[in-house]
């Protein structure tokens, strides 16, 4: 008997939200799982959010090492040919710039995502270290009660990791581990990463208007 063709439901994994005019900070750190950051960015752009991207030094290394990608302002259309960048704006920020325009009174932060989030950044965010722009932006999100969603990708997890994640949750942040589901019969790594991006979008836009 011929095996039934495996189906995928990738399109249904990311709901449509009205992100037009909303500013999202996307932090990308150097833990393994760079594909999660690419599909997270794609999900935000599909929903027409304005994205302020902060990539750590090792985040840049991991993107290049795992995905062969160097994200720049000029290659977004090449990276995401299925996304029409009509209403979204994308800005890149240096992770060492602690005087970024993100902290000016004219910047309206709708929320922040760190995807994937290395455990040293989980620790820094939990303690409020603010020693780089990703950590300081997370502290900013806490201070102004903006949604903060952390996507850790680490195994095994020890008690220090758990304690730090618990502190983030106690402060109002959300933890969405990079643990994709297989119940929808994913066909490739993009499907697996889209599942996680979809769960993040659900948290980010909880109660927001859907299209």
Has residue 18 got a pLDDT over 60?
A: yes
Instruction: Output the six-digit token pair for 202.
Output: 């659900």
Q: What is the Cα–Cα distance from 25 to 134, expressed in whole angstroms?
A: 9
Has residue 30 got a pLDDT over 70?
A: yes
Mean pLDDT throughout 24-50?
A: 97
- Has residue 3 been placed in a domain? no
Residue labelled with tokens 């790594």? 189
Q: What is the Cα–Cα distance from 198 to 126, expressed in whole angstroms?
A: 24
Q: For residue 25, what are the domain limits?
A: 11-204
Give the model confidence (pLDDT) of 122-177 as tens digits: 999 999 999 999 999 999 999 999 999 999 999 999 999 999 999 999 999 999 99
Tally of domains in the chain: 1
- Has residue 5 been placed in a domain? no
- Has residue 166 been placed in a domain? yes
- Has residue 6 been placed in a domain? no
pTM: 0.92
pLDDT score at 68: 96
Pairing of the two strands 148-152 and 109-117: parallel
- Has residue 2 been placed in a domain? no
Place 3 in a pLDDT band, splitting at 50, 70 and 90. Answer: very low
Residue labelled with tokens 């990703």? 134
pLDDT score at 86: 83
Place 113 in a pLDDT band, splitting at 50, 70 and 90. Answer: very high
Percentage of residues in the chain with pLDDT exceeding 70? 92
- Has residue 22 been placed in a domain? yes
- Has residue 181 been placed in a domain? yes
> DSSP letters of 99-144?
T-GGGSTT--EEEEEEEEE-HHHHHHHHHT---SHHHHHHHHHHHT
CATH number for the domain spanning 159: value is 3.40.50.1950
Closest listed residue to residue 82, CA positions, set 180, 189, 10, 21: 10
pLDDT score at 209: 55
Q: What is the CA radius of gyration of the chain?
A: 17
Has residue 65 got a pLDDT over 80?
A: yes
CA 125 to each of CA 7, 8, 84, 138: distance values in angstroms, whole numbers, following the listed order: 39, 36, 33, 6
- Has residue 4 been placed in a domain? no
Place 116 in a pLDDT band, splitting at 50, 70 and 90. Answer: very high
pLDDT score at 173: 97
């Amino acid at each position: 008997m011929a095996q039934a063709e495996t189906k995928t439901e990738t399109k249904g994994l990311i709901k449509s939200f009205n992100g037009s005019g909303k500013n999202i900070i996307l932090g990308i750190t150097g833990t393994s799982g760079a594909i999660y950051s690419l599909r997270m960015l794609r999900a935000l752009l599909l929903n027409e959010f304005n994205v302020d991207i902060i990539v750590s030094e090792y985040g840049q290394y991991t993107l290049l090492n795992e995905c062969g990608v160097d994200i720049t302002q000029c290659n977004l259309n090449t990276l995401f040919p299925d996304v029409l960048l009509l209403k979204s704006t994308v800005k890149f920020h240096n992770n060492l710039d602690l005087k970024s325009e993100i902290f000016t009174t004219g910047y309206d932060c709708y929320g922040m995502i760190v995807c994937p989030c290395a455990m040293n950044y989980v620790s820094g965010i939990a303690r409020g270290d603010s020693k780089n722009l990703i950590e300081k932006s997370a502290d900013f999100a806490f201070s102004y009660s903006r949604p903060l969603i952390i996507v850790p990708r680490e195994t095994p997890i020890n008690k220090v990791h758990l304690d730090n994640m618990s502190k983030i949750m106690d402060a109002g942040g959300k933890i969405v581990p990079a643990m994709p589901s297989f119940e929808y019969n994913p066909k490739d790594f993009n499907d697996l990463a889209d599942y996680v991006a979809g769960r993040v979008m659900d948290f980010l836009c909880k109660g927001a208007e859907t299209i």
